[in-house]
Structure 1
Amino acid sequence: MRDRTVTLVLRSLALAAAVTASAIVIGVALAWLTTRARLPWRRGWAVLAALPLAVPSFVAAYTWVSVAPGVSGFLGTWLVLTFSTYPYVYLPVAAALTRTDPALEEVARSLGRTGLAATVEVTARVVRPAVAAGALLVALYALSDFGTPSLMRYDVFTRVIHTSYSASFDRTPAAVLSLVLVAITVAITVAEQRSRGRAGYARLGAGAARALHDVDLGRATPLAVAFTGAVTAVALGFPAVVLGLWVSRGRSAGVDWAELVPAGVSTVWVAVLGALAATALAVPVGVLAARHPDRGGRLLEHLTYAGHAVPGIVVALALVFFGVRYAQPVYQRTPLLVLAYAVLFMPAVVGAVRAAVSQSPPRLEEVARSLGRTPAGVLRDVTLRLATPGIAAGFALVTLTAMKELPATLLLRPTGMDTLATRLWTETGVGAYAAAAPYAVALVLLAAVPTVLLARVQERVTRPAQPGGEPVDPVATVVPAVATEGGAR
């Protein structure tokens, strides 16, 4: 058992490290190209770069294994997770780059720095919190994902825990592995928190009232276009083509609308309820973590991330035990499933709110108090008002990820209710790829809605400064939070 645990630790950490490193490279490169470079069709590439969030990782894995079964194991899992998670780095870094004050680089150049040195020494430091926050979400996702390693037949913690729970009456080995996974996650979140340091990243005023100067790529333009095109082709093009292929093959049998429509309605209903619950619970934690970053605030924040890292199957079985023993009226009812979503996806809102509140200057709250506002009034009219884009981003991310949640939904959904994810998993499990395709397409289309809303929130809060100033932007790193995609955890 001990040797097996060590092997799982090494395999899981290696996968998480590889996925995180590659997601950082792709996400940062795309963010820079779509915000700071003269890239042809830049606005279109910016939209396409965020859309892989709408494709559940287990749907992407399904498209690969259905046409290329040889792409499995570590290579297949790394490939799918990388192109499913890089938007968690791309979105916050693009937001931070767009909101960077051009005067900072200009001052650095006036002091003798070259363009590259100014970018590395000034801009890179400004966007470092966004990179760290996005990387944290990618690492947590890679550690907690269940669907992709299962379809790719690659043993990591989540797959072995699920197998142990399903194949044995003795839950002790799975419980031990779950505790090890939680410990690893806490260590990662602590490392990310320390990487932020104690430096502040808020600024007063709107910065220089002019747009950033785009970099002319020159002869490198074809390479930049080829890079963005290749990423889009792997992350979006390939899944779309394969899904279209399977839908066309299954057209002769027709679409079972009596199953598809109720599954779609149930997916939206429970996802929105889960997002509301997660937001209500996470906003106080995010504000506390931002304004009181002492041991208590950090501990509370880390506990929420630990809950996110626990595989959905573990959270679901714990709630099954709780429901059977202590909450029979809600067992196999919607409230228990909503509670699972809240536990799993709270970091999507906690991180967004913490990032937004951290970037709103505390002096604004002090001014409000000096004008006679009560603490509750300051929280309502100043802190939460400035954090609204972060809260909206977190809500959209939870809705998106709850739609794609798989193991918790399988165990906790009300009797007789199916979601698109559970129907897709059922059909895929018996090799009915053509029958699974309509559910996969419907899930991707529904998930695209909160993805587009999320992009709109980002575009609004990252609009360049205009002459005459504008309110302080609370979220140069709004979207890192998130996302958490617990996806097909």
Structure 2
Amino acid sequence: MLAAAILVAVFAMLPLAFVAMAAIQAGFPLIAKLVFRPRVAELLYNTLLLIALTVPLCVLHGVTMAWLTERSDLPGRRWWSLLVVAPLAIPAFVHSYAWVSLAPSLHGLFPAVLVSVIAYSPFIYLPAAAALRRLDPVLEDVAESLGDRPATVFLRVVLPQLRVAIWGGSLLVALHLLAEYGLFALIRFDTFTTAIFDQFQSSFSGPAANMLAGVLALACLALLTLEATTRGSARYARIGAGSPRPPRQYRLGAPATLFALACCAAFTALSLGVPLATLGQWLAAGGLAVWRSDELLLCLGQTMLLGTAGALLTTAAAIPIAWISVRAPSRLQRMLEGSNYVASALPGIVVALALVSVTIKFAQPLYQTVFTVLLAYVLMFLPRALVSLRAGLAQAPVELENIARSLGRSPLQALCGVTLRFAAPGAAASVALVFLAIVNELTATLLLSPSGTATLATAFWSKTSEIDYAAAAPYALMMILLSLPLTGLLYHQSKRVAGR
């Protein structure tokens, strides 16, 4: 298991090794010429400004909705919590497609911020709501008994305990902003990812694309370092279950209730109403002609095939690291696990460029094959499988595995016949989460997929690139229908972890 975990970790570091080798081969004069130029400064400014505006707005919306649905008497709190998470079922580039269809002149920074907040604020809401559910209400009661008003209690007692959830969600949003291509390409807002993709198409992984990929990788590592150093070292755990009673629900009052309901309805209209209404409009305008069953079924079949194979391969690759993290935790295990998280934080376009360069130079028969696409999925989505699988393995008693081995089973037979059976629910959740990510993945699939391969995402992108929005609508609808049940699984899993 340790040998397998080391092999997976070494493979996961391939994108970082590609960035380093590209820099070494280019040499400092070429690096200075390609990096220290006005275009790179403009892209860096656009990207940092996008993150600086989007992340605080996502935090504000996510934390506010978490408090309203978990701690207030807002009418229909359960339904509002579902509606807040529902935008995750709509790919970010479909959100952008809907807004561009609604207002073709919509482009630039502020439309990019608007669509990004709509698409990514659930990443803040889910951990914040889970953390609020698990807080001990006694701490708030003590603060109020000492004279603090409810607003002061929230700022001094509740909000500091949400720090880990907010920091983690903010990091996830920022990494998505660095990696996203389709959303910003449709909005016509230039970021590093859109520039790298354009460079790749024009120069076929030339030095300019590689150097931009290096800058983007450094930006991702800087975000990871910033989150790790600013997260703090405060203790958030407690011994015992805390107060046995549920948290107190705050009364909003009539004016605040009406204002909160209006805000919730407005955001739901923006995040769900606009995409669904736009899809309905284009489907009605296209009529039966846009439902080309042969093309649509082919794309659906290839999406299901790639999604299933990629999810199973990614989950299988996560088994060794998840197993040693539960059975044999150590400093080496933490290093191996951390390398997978760091590597997967890199944008899909950097992963794709790394695999393009490696396959062309060292394994040319694998270039533009399905196997290369599946390897990209493993590199990008391994942590999604690792988290759920590790939780499932932690529920498998090691004593049962030892008993199976004492009865003559080999270690592999004991692992497959006993441990993995207990871990099956966690493995199923891993497969579902990775499958959801693959269904909505665009950049790496566009760059690596062999000729003739068309997933729902790439076919949708091909239609929108031709400004044929009516023909793209069925593919967008199919992606949403595939993502809805898996998004529901993610929502219920977060509630179960939070103790609901």
TM-score of the superposed pair, with normalisation by structure 1:
0.82
Pick from 278, 302, 305 the counterpart of residue 266 of structure 1: 302
| 1:15-164 paired onto structure 2 within 5 Å | 15-164=50-199
Structure 1 residues 67 and 448, CA gap change in structure 2 (3 angstroms) = same
Which residue does the alignment assign to 1:257?
Answer: 293
1:46 partner SS: helix
Q: Distance in 1 between matches of 2:184 and 2:472?
A: 19
How far is the alpha carbon of 1:280 from its aligned partner? 4.0
Q: Distance in 2 between matches of 1:295 and 1:195?
A: 22
| Kept after mapping to 1: 8 A contact 2:283/2:290 | no
Q: Deviations over 1:413-459 (max 9, x none)?
A: 34433110011011111111111100011111111121011112122
| Paired amino acid for 1:206 | A
Q: Deviations over 1:248-305 (max 9, x none)?
A: 0111425111111221222133223323333444466578889999986776566434
Q: Deviations over 1:172-196 (max 9, x none)?
A: 1111111111111111111212233
Pick from 459, 462, 484 the counterpart of residue 498 of structure 2: 462
Aligned residue pair count: 455
Structure 1 residues 402 and 198, CA gap change in structure 2 (3 angstroms) = same
1:450 aligns with 2:482: no
How far is the alpha carbon of 1:122 from its aligned partner? 2.4
How far is the alpha carbon of 1:308 from its aligned partner? 3.3
Structure 1 residues 388 and 254, CA gap change in structure 2 (3 angstroms) = closer
Which residue does the alignment assign to 1:208?
Answer: 243
| Kept after mapping to 2: 8 A contact 1:189/1:302 | no
How far is the alpha carbon of 1:28 from its aligned partner? 0.8
How far is the alpha carbon of 1:111 from its aligned partner? 4.1
| Paired amino acid for 2:219 | I
Which residue does the alignment assign to 2:216?
Answer: 181
Q: Distance in 1 between matches of 2:80 and 2:205?
A: 50
| Kept after mapping to 2: 8 A contact 1:352/1:393 | yes
Structure 1 residues 293 and 70, CA gap change in structure 2 (3 angstroms) = farther
| 1:436-447 paired onto structure 2 within 5 Å | 436-447=472-483
Which residue does the alignment assign to 1:478?
Answer: none
How far is the alpha carbon of 1:210 from its aligned partner? 1.6
Structure 1 residues 245 and 38, CA gap change in structure 2 (3 angstroms) = same
| Kept after mapping to 2: 8 A contact 1:32/1:94 | yes
Larger deviation, residues 68-77 vs 406-415: 406-415
| 1:90-489 paired onto structure 2 within 5 Å | 90-169=125-204, 171-218=206-253, 219-282=255-318, 303-328=339-364, 330-349=366-385, 395-464=431-500
Which residue does the alignment assign to 2:21?
Answer: none
Q: Deviations over 1:187-214 (max 9, x none)?
A: 1111212233334434444332221111
How far is the alpha carbon of 1:345 from its aligned partner? 2.1
Structure 1 residues 246 and 137, CA gap change in structure 2 (3 angstroms) = same
| Kept after mapping to 1: 8 A contact 2:290/2:470 | no
| Kept after mapping to 2: 8 A contact 1:182/1:306 | no
Structure with the greater alpha carbon radius of gyration: 2
Larger deviation, residues 71-80 vs 289-298: 289-298
Structure 1 residues 62 and 21, CA gap change in structure 2 (3 angstroms) = same
| Paired amino acid for 1:454 | L
* Structure 2 stretches lacking a partner, 5+ long: 1-33, 404-410
| Kept after mapping to 2: 8 A contact 1:392/1:457 | no
Q: Distance in 1 between matches of 2:325 and 2:178?
A: 24
| Kept after mapping to 2: 8 A contact 1:185/1:305 | no
Q: Deviations over 1:80-127 (max 9, x none)?
A: 111100000001111111122222322333444433333223222222
Q: Percent identity?
A: 41
How far is the alpha carbon of 1:309 from its aligned partner? 4.2
Q: Distance in 2 between matches of 1:412 and 1:368?
A: 41
| Kept after mapping to 1: 8 A contact 2:179/2:349 | no
Structure 1 residues 133 and 277, CA gap change in structure 2 (3 angstroms) = farther
| Kept after mapping to 2: 8 A contact 1:143/1:309 | no
Structure 1 residues 266 and 173, CA gap change in structure 2 (3 angstroms) = same
Q: Deviations over 1:198-237 (max 9, x none)?
A: 3443444433222111111102001101111111111111
Q: Distance in 1 between matches of 2:233 and 2:424?
A: 24
Q: Distance in 2 between matches of 1:389 and 1:196?
A: 31
Structure 1 residues 312 and 368, CA gap change in structure 2 (3 angstroms) = closer
Q: Distance in 1 between matches of 2:424 and 2:83?
A: 25
Larger deviation, residues 47-56 vs 2-11: 2-11
| Kept after mapping to 2: 8 A contact 1:181/1:309 | no
Relative contact order higher in (CA < 8 Å, ≥ 6 apart): 1
| Kept after mapping to 2: 8 A contact 1:164/1:173 | yes
| Paired amino acid for 2:276 | A
Q: Deviations over 1:370-409 (max 9, x none)?
A: xx99xx9xx99xx999999877665443222211111211
Larger deviation, residues 438-447 vs 96-105: 96-105
